[in-house]
Every structure is written in structure tokens, then in C-alpha cells.
């Protein structure tokens, strides 16, 4: 891997494909780079690729993506105008039949992959970043955070970057009660609507 920092998204994808910064590259099919416009005003950061993303090489193409896409539409946001990525670029899993069973990245893996997120931020220069879930929030803020305490507000980083946090859409997949799922989906859409309103002021 070159010591020269990538300055374009194409260069970043090429460098990420060769990443060995933590052991997660060994069992993964491939690194999954972020995707979106070069200078998207909004960047969304998830946790890590899932099984579908690991195979496809694209972020947010699995079941959680279908919820995210519907919520974006309900919130009046256009996915093609958003840069979508993950805090960790390789799928962490346990082999289980034909599909890998998702395992949450640990602090070391998150911190090692933060290098790539910092480069993404430097290239894309978004006006606002939305962390989807606790792993993304930890990566972006450099510490463990509680989503419920930060949700709904705009958090300025020391470097001037503006952050917001919400749940990861995969959390909605795990809710079995229909009414509870509908309520929490509505709250997720409300968070996305807040992002749209904040973006309009930046």
C-alpha cells in the first residue's frame, strides 16, 4: 500500500482494495468503498458491509438498504445525491452456511479503518455527515457515544465538520412488533427530514 494519500475517489477505491490495516481483509471477499458524488453535500456512514455488500462490492445493497432507500424517499432526499459509506470497509463475519453471520467490529478495527473515512471526508468535503448507528458515531467522534442522547442535534467536530446521528436501518429489521416498527421507522424518517432541513441552512 502506498504512503501517498489518495486525492480522488477512484484513487481511494484502488487503495482500499489493497488494505491490510487490520485482519478483516483476510476472510472478506473484497473491500467495499463508499459511493456517491465527488462533492456530495451529505455523507451517510453506516457500520460495515453485510453479506450482500461483501459479495457485490457496493455499500447498502442488502435488506437494510431497502429500508434506507424507502426512508430517504419518504424524507424527500435523493440517494444519488448522497455519498454513502461505512465506518469499516470489510465484512466482519462468522462463516455460517452460504451466508456470513454478521459480527460487530471492535474498537481496534474501527480505529484502524478511520484512516479511510478521514480520507473520504477530505475528498468529498460534505457539509453534513449522518452517522447511522453507534459504530459509525464512534468512528466519527473518536469515542463511544449513546445514540439516544445525541439524536436530533447537530454536533460540531473540532475540525468544523457537522455531524448528526441516528439509528442504523438494520435495527428496524430486528423489531418484530408491527406497531413498534412503524413508530421507530417514522422516527428514522424524521431524523432524515432534520438532515434535509439542516443542509438547507449550510
- For 9-201, CATH number out of 3.20.10.10, 3.40.50.2300, 3.40.470.10, 3.30.70.3270 equals 3.40.470.10
User: Model-level pTM?
Assistant: 0.90
Domain extents for the chain?
A: 9-201
pLDDT bucket at 54, cuts 50 / 70 / 90: confident
pLDDT (tens digit per residue) in 14-38? 988 888 888 787 888 898 999 999 9
pLDDT (tens digit per residue) in 117-137? 999 999 999 999 999 999 999
Q: How much is the pLDDT for 1?
A: 47
- Contacts of residue 112, Cβ cutoff 8 Å, sequence gap at least 6: 21, 22
The rounded percent of the chain whose pLDDT value lies above 70 is: 94
- Contacts of residue 19, Cβ cutoff 8 Å, sequence gap at least 6: 1, 25, 31, 89, 90, 116
Residues pairing with 85 in the sheet: 45
pLDDT bucket at 100, cuts 50 / 70 / 90: low
pLDDT bucket at 107, cuts 50 / 70 / 90: confident
> Are 152 and 191 contacting, i.e. CB atoms less than 8 angstroms apart?
yes
pLDDT bucket at 51, cuts 50 / 70 / 90: confident
pLDDT (tens digit per residue) in 159-201? 899 999 999 999 999 999 999 999 999 999 999 999 999 999 9
pLDDT (tens digit per residue) in 61-78? 989 999 999 999 999 999
Amino acid at each position: 500500500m502506498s504512503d501517498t494519500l489518495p486525492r480522488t475517489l477512484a484513487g481511494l477505491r484502488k487503495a482500499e482494495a489493497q488494505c491490510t490495516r487490520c485482519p478483516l481483509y483476510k476472510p472478506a471477499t473484497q473491500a467495499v468503498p463508499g459511493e456517491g458524488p465527488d462533492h456530495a453535500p451529505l455523507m451517510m456512514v453506516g457500520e460495515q458491509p453485510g453479506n450482500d455488500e461483501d459479495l457485490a462490492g457496493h455499500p447498502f445493497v442488502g435488506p437494510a438498504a431497502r429500508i434506507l432507500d424507502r426512508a430517504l424517499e419518504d424524507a424527500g432526499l435523493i440517494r444519488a445525491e448522497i455519498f454513502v459509506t461505512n465506518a469499516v470497509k470489510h465484512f466482519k463475519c462468522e462463516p455460517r452456511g452460504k451466508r456470513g453471520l454478521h459480527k460487530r467490529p471492535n474498537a481496534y478495527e474501527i480505529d484502524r479503518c478511520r484512516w479511510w473515512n478521514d480520507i473520504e471526508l477530505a475528498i468529498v468535503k460534505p457539509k453534513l455527515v449522518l452517522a447511522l448507528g453507534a459504530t459509525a458515531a464512534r468512528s466519527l467522534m473518536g469515542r463511544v457515544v449513546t445514540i439516544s442522547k445525541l439524536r436530533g442535534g447537530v454536533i460540531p467536530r473540532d475540525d468544523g465538520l457537522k455531524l448528526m446521528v441516528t439509528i442504523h436501518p438494520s435495527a428496524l429489521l430486528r423489531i418484530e412488533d408491527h406497531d413498534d416498527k412503524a413508530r421507530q421507522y417514522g422516527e428514522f424518517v424524521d431524523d432524515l427530514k432534520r438532515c434535509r432541513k439542516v443542509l438547507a441552512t449550510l
